[in-house]
Structure 1
Amino acid sequence: MTGLVSASHISGVDISWTCVGNNYYQVTLNLFRDCSGITMSSTQELDVTSDCGQSFSVTMNQVPGSGQEISQLCTSVLPQSDCNNGGYPGMEHYTYQATVFLFPPCDGWTLAWTDCCRNPSVNVPTSSVDDIYADVTVNTVTAPCNDSPVFTAQPIPFVCLGQPVNYSFGVYDPDGDSLAYTFIDARVGASNSMVYGAGFSGQVPVTGVTLDPFTGAVNFTPNLVGNYIVVVQVEEYDDNDQLIGTVMRDMQFTVINCTNTVPDLPPGIANLSGDATQTGPYSLELCLQDQFCLDLVFTDADPNDVLTLSSNVDLVLPGATFVQTGTNPATATICWTAVPGTSTLAAFSVEAEDNACPVTG
């Protein structure tokens, strides 16, 4: 394996919130640390401002059990990551939480965090000396006691030079609100964007990248080894199409030279049964109380690779079932009965990971 890039500190961040009642919100900060960088502190500071002039800071404490290793390495190599003083690239996930009182009559609140420093990157030449910034916006009067969208996908994916990348942020909304996705500038502060290199921008963070604004699906074929900073913003809308909040994830894609061939996408839905109507290769339409079952069949051109499938479908579609059959090909069977409270446009993801070494695909 060649082309791995050294790191400074933080590789990714996102913030979410959950309403606990009476204008109190539990705020969660997720930080993703490159293990070749400096250690994480036990607390983080959250800056809170409102549209009616309020401003204060809250100390967030590290949640017990934080610092779990999430390195994209095969099982036999995992103990040799630089999280364990080895030589392979390692990543850890840290979680911080605090309860915040967002008092009326203020409606618009911004919860923000910043720290130093980022990893080096191809698309932002000065990133290794720049701060990393993230925020969310919460509308507590327009949408009382609303919960934010939540990211569930692998935040720091290693992808292969010259091979197509099909990535999902794995976002779901606990309240079933409608979601919309956009790429935005990486920032060092609330109003200070990073300076991108020639040919790159917040909206085009990787050459040839596309983002589906409704599902959050990301597609590109990388043509240069290195880290790429990518920032996505997710807007949530209520049933009246009012904007009621935003979240974002600042993350990196790491492009490496691979001898492995990544798993292939299914050509489309297979073995559909039930009441749903198929409207595209990967899309269905159905009504309340309708039910369906479908298969998604994943293959890998490396005949000895074993595929492991995972999905956030149980979070996106309450009550859905997910079963894997086989390993290469590997079939995901998903069944669901439509229940009230689900978003009118609900996008779930299914991930196929092989067991290639040292870096899985």
Structure 2
Amino acid sequence: MFSLLLRRIGFLSGLVFFLLGLAAHPAHASHLLGGEMTYKFLDSNGPTGTPLRYQITLKLYLDCNASTSLIHSSWAIPIYNQGSGSRVTTATITEVTPRPLCNLPAVPPGCTITPGILSYIKQTFIGVVNLPATTLGYYAAWTDNARNINISNIVGSGSESMSLYCTMAPPVLNNSSPTFVNDAVANICAGDTTYILNNAIDPDGDLLVYSFGTPYNNGLPTTWTNPPSGVTFNAGFDAQHPLGTAPGNYANVNSLTGLSKYKTTAPLNTTFVVAVDISEYRQVGNRRVLIGTTRRDVQLIVVTCPPAAAPSLPNTAATPRNYTIEAGSSLTIPLSASQADGHPLKITATSVLLDSTGGFNASFNNHIGTVLSGSPVGTATAGGAAVSNAPSSVAANFVYNSTCTEARANPYSIIVLVEDKGCAGKSVADIFNVTVVKPSGPTDITGNFSVCGLPSSQQYTAVLLPTM
């Protein structure tokens, strides 16, 4: 059903924030567009007394119209003990350099998007903190003021803070939080259904469950209380209905895939704030344990979407979405897409397997992947060039050569995004899963069962189970 939905629908490509009129408001009321916070456990080789080393990553989306005094080059991140809630220390995370310029998504010649495109800055902050040994773990928190003014689904948005936090598991679990595959996409089509992929990849192979949550406005208390405080929704809205309960409005997130579905009857330029949570579970003994929760806070803006045919992926009969291989064997997945109007297409594959020169041996379109600083996943692309015929198509192979040590219970996920790079181009996405199992050993040995009075040599044959 998930694959069928993805083949039938599309969502506008790129990180495109549409907005009209907000530039007229003071900068302090419009500079926070969204964000997310993640962590990675590094090792236990820190200084005496604080041996645990965690890397913290904060990503923020800011309006370029904000005052430069509101654009930080570093942040102080308080760390709290999970057991007592007491503040342990304060870490400093610094901006990845060089600072990115204001982004304006590329629009093909002759293509007009209405009501307009808001320029934005995406900032990434990374830092390492040394912490005392613990069996419980820590919380890391961030907050800033303020959200955009006139967000329609919460009370007093112009004076509301935006807060994020992450649950840092104890070292015995050796865990890193899941990482969202794509940047936040914040536009929804007026009067039409919009699908946005909020999928993430977990480097540890943990089970991920997606849900909507109440956006936080917690601040930075002396003692941490979980869960943090949240915003107050206007009448007719709540965490599970962020676009409202009136007829014609709905919002849904697939708990297993992260695919979000939105439709609204609101006027153009209406803004909503939505929080998407990823709960991370791991099998520990006979119990499924909640490791932590990762959040994406983002605004949705209502825009007009010109008509355009969405790209299409092959059906599951032609290209399955789930594969099982034995450790030490190889797999080739042919990935392709087409578009009826002849627009140029680009395929992006994202996976922990595309780790460049890391431990995995995988490639897409003969490229071993590009890994950005602080990210546990890599990407590789195919296509994107202009075409002169309709329909257009793009194709490339994903190749994975597994080793004997890469078997695990949970699959390795490959997120495939197909972008229409033409005017008003849409995108489709799907998830391909590769489960690596331990090789099957022999089930029987045939030969002479006598052990006495035999010639100097005997022949025996190992019998294997048939490969399914």
Fold-level similarity (TM above 0.5): yes
Over the residues paired in the alignment, what is the CA RMSD in angstroms? 3.1
User: Which residue is 1:139 aligned to?
Assistant: 169
Structure-1-length-normalised TM-score: 0.81
Q: Between Structure 1 and Structure 2, how many residues are aligned?
A: 340
- Return closer, same or farther for 1:32/1:115 CA change in 2, 3 Å cut-off: same
User: Which residue is 2:204 aligned to?
Assistant: 175
- Return closer, same or farther for 1:269/1:242 CA change in 2, 3 Å cut-off: same
Q: Which of 234, 254, 264 is 2:301 aligned to?
A: 254
> In the TM superposition, what is the alpha-carbon distance from 1:256 to its structure 2 partner?
0.6
Q: Which of 136, 150, 160 is 1:107 aligned to?
A: 136
What is the 5 A alignment of 1:17-28? Answer: 17-22=39-44, 23-28=52-57
Q: Which of 233, 258, 265 is 1:196 aligned to?
A: 233
- Give me the whole-angstrom Cα distance separating, in 1, the residues matched to 2:425 and 2:22: 19
User: Which residue is 2:444 aligned to?
Assistant: none
What is the 5 A alignment of 1:1-361? Answer: 4=20, 6=22, 8-22=30-44, 23-39=52-68, 40-53=71-84, 54-55=86-87, 56-74=89-107, 88-119=117-148, 120-144=150-174, 146-189=175-218, 191-206=228-243, 207-224=249-266, 225=268, 226-240=270-284, 241-261=288-308, 263-266=310-313, 268-269=315-316, 271-272=318-319, 278=320, 283-289=321-327, 291-299=331-339, 303=341, 305-313=343-351, 315=353, 319-323=361-365, 324=382, 329-337=392-400, 339=402, 340=406, 344-356=410-422, 361=426
- Return closer, same or farther for 1:150/1:293 CA change in 2, 3 Å cut-off: same
SS state at 1:244 partner: strand
Q: Which blocks of at least 5 consecutive residues in structure 1 are unaligned? A: 78-86, 273-277
User: Which residue is 1:80 aligned to?
Assistant: none
- Give me the whole-angstrom Cα distance separating, in 1, the residues matched to 2:395 and 2:192: 23
What one-letter code is carried by the residue in structure 2 that aligns with 1:229? V
- Give me the whole-angstrom Cα distance separating, in 1, the residues matched to 2:33 and 2:309: 23
- Give me the whole-angstrom Cα distance separating, in 2, the residues matched to 1:262 and 1:343: 38
Q: String of CA shifts for 1:117-149, please: whole Å, max 9, x gaps.
A: 1124232252222100111101114413x2221
What one-letter code is carried by the residue in structure 1 that aligns with 2:42? V
Q: String of CA shifts for 1:83-116, please: whole Å, max 9, x gaps.
A: xxxx841111111122112322242311110001
- Give me the whole-angstrom Cα distance separating, in 2, the residues matched to 1:345 and 1:118: 38
> In the TM superposition, what is the alpha-carbon distance from 1:208 to its structure 2 partner?
1.9
SS state at 1:187 partner: coil
Q: String of CA shifts for 1:279-305, please: whole Å, max 9, x gaps.
A: xxxx324243463424342425xx263
Range with greater deviation from structure 2 (63-72 or 27-36): 63-72
What one-letter code is carried by the residue in structure 2 that aligns with 1:305? H
- Give me the whole-angstrom Cα distance separating, in 1, the residues matched to 2:264 and 2:343: 23
Tell me if the contact between 2:345 and 2:394 (Cα under 8 Å) persists in the aligned partners: no
Higher-Rg structure is 2
- Give me the whole-angstrom Cα distance separating, in 2, the residues matched to 1:15 and 1:30: 6
Q: Which blocks of at least 5 consecutive residues in structure 2 are unaligned? A: 1-17, 24-29, 45-51, 111-115, 219-226, 244-248, 366-381, 427-468
Range with greater deviation from structure 2 (329-338 or 98-107): 329-338
- Give me the whole-angstrom Cα distance separating, in 2, the residues matched to 1:157 and 1:332: 28
Range with greater deviation from structure 2 (330-339 or 45-54): 330-339
